[in-house]
Amino acid sequence: MIKKGVILAGGTGSRLAPMTKVTNKHLLPVYNKPMIYYPIDTLKKSGVTELLIITGTESAGDFMKLLGSGDELGVHITFRVQEGTAGIADALKLAENFVGNENFAVILGDNIYEENFKTIIQNFTNGAHIFLQEVEYADRFGVATLNEKNEVITIVEKPHTPETNFAVTGLYVYDSSVFKKLEIVEVSNRGEYEITDVNQMYIDDSQMTASFLEKGWNDAGTHESLFYASKLARAMALEAQ
């Protein structure tokens, strides 16, 4: 059973400037809640209640003031601070002591899902699992290519000319071998340590599985996607009433 989850909530949020000039983007409102509430809720609904939030030095205190121990949200929250912004894979290294030898989930703090992932996450045994969605502008994401058996054979980060429209969304499930892979990831031509390269290692070892989303998803990393994320969050809130 997977109980541990990591929420990555660092970065500069430059694409959301000037709104992020004085605050972390994951603290911006999405409809009626701070953005960070949505990934917490996604993990909680999946049975993942021991959470590690990784953020930068500038906003760590704001996250702690907002979330505290997590008791009010029905979870237990630990915090780690990432020095600098060297990419998702670099931030994930900070989770090793928290995770130990267990399987765990990772979610990007600006991703909002309508779906419940409890069955997939709690049935996970080893390797890695990713969640795909067909999108219009695939060049904003890691893009997966599948073979005739619907197995992922490659993932390319933000390609100028995507081979498919299958975006890798910001939710991942890993076994603890991910930390050995993180140690050998090389910096990309974007100057970051890419989670796409880690996922490709699992693919090369035939340890990657994937599933397509059946319901709504949006990342809130740009002004347009933040707007649509709020519309999705509003629809989810009205449906829950």
- Domain ranges in the chain are 4-240
Find all residues with CB under 8 Å of 2, minimum gap 6, and list them: 46, 47, 48, 102, 103, 104, 105, 121, 122, 124, 173
Answer yes or no: is pLDDT of 85 > 80.
Answer: no
Q: How confident is the model at residue 32 (pLDDT cuts 50, 70, 90)?
A: very high
User: What are the tens digits of pLDDT across the range 154-178?
Assistant: 999 999 999 999 999 999 999 999 9
| Structure confidence at residue 87 (pLDDT) | 86
Q: How confident is the model at residue 29 (pLDDT cuts 50, 70, 90)?
A: very high
| Structure confidence at residue 58 (pLDDT) | 87
Mean pLDDT over the full length of the chain: 94
User: Cβ–Cβ contacts within 10 Å for residue 193, how many?
Assistant: 20
**Going along the chain, which residue ranges are E strands?**
4-8, 29-30, 33-34, 50-56, 76-82, 104-108, 111-113, 128-134, 142-146, 152-157, 166-174, 208-212, 217-219
Tell me what the mean pLDDT of segment 38-47 comes to. Answer: 98
- Lowest mean pLDDT, pick from 35-49, 66-80, 103-117, 221-235: 221-235
Domain 4-240 coded CATH 3.30.70.20:
no
- pTM of the entire predicted model: 0.95
Answer yes or no: is pLDDT of 191 > 90.
Answer: no
| Structure confidence at residue 47 (pLDDT) | 98
Tell me what the mean pLDDT of segment 83-96 comes to. Answer: 89
| Structure confidence at residue 95 (pLDDT) | 97
| Structure confidence at residue 134 (pLDDT) | 95
Answer yes or no: is pLDDT of 100 > 90.
Answer: yes
